[in-house]
Amino acid sequence: MECQERLTTYLRDHRAPYQVQQHPEAFTAQEIAVSEHVPGRFVAKAVVVFADAQKALLVLPATHHVNLVQAAQVLGAAEVRLAHEDEFAANFPDCEVGAIPPFGNLYGLPVYVDRSLTADDQIIFPAGTHTTTLSVAYPDFARLVEPVILDFASAP
């Protein structure tokens, strides 16, 4: 099953309306925002980290960066570091590298959302490729993923 099919089936099965968007190839969340003509704060990027020895998915707006020191504090970890692509690619076998969705629950990872992402009614995120995104209401995302809301991101 492809990532987009996995996501849309999950959203449909849980009665969460969504929209599929196509755009020119984009490799960063900010590039997605530009190509879809939306503010970067609406685009959710998913970052895989190791909190001590445990993998986790941090989800934040495209306009922000993970503050690793702050992430360690709020996660109660001695150290948080960004995972290398080869360390998590196997967790997302149906996604292109760098195009993972924020639905860590579908891939066996705990999900932590930065509070700044919760401010808007809708989020846009990669659907497993560098040319496709999905839009979903943030409350539906929160209902389906049940992320822990924390403060770990910094605006540049």
Token pair belonging to 88: 């998590």
Token pair belonging to 8: 């849309």
Q: Which stretches in the chain have pLDDT values below 50?
A: none
CATH value at residue 25 = 3.90.960.10
| pLDDT for the residue numbered 67 | 97
Range of the domain at 103: 3-154
Per DSSP, the three-state class of 26 is coil
- Measured on CA atoms in the order 128, 134, 138, 141, is the torsion positive or negative? negative
Q: How many domains does the chain have?
A: 1
| pLDDT for the residue numbered 51 | 97
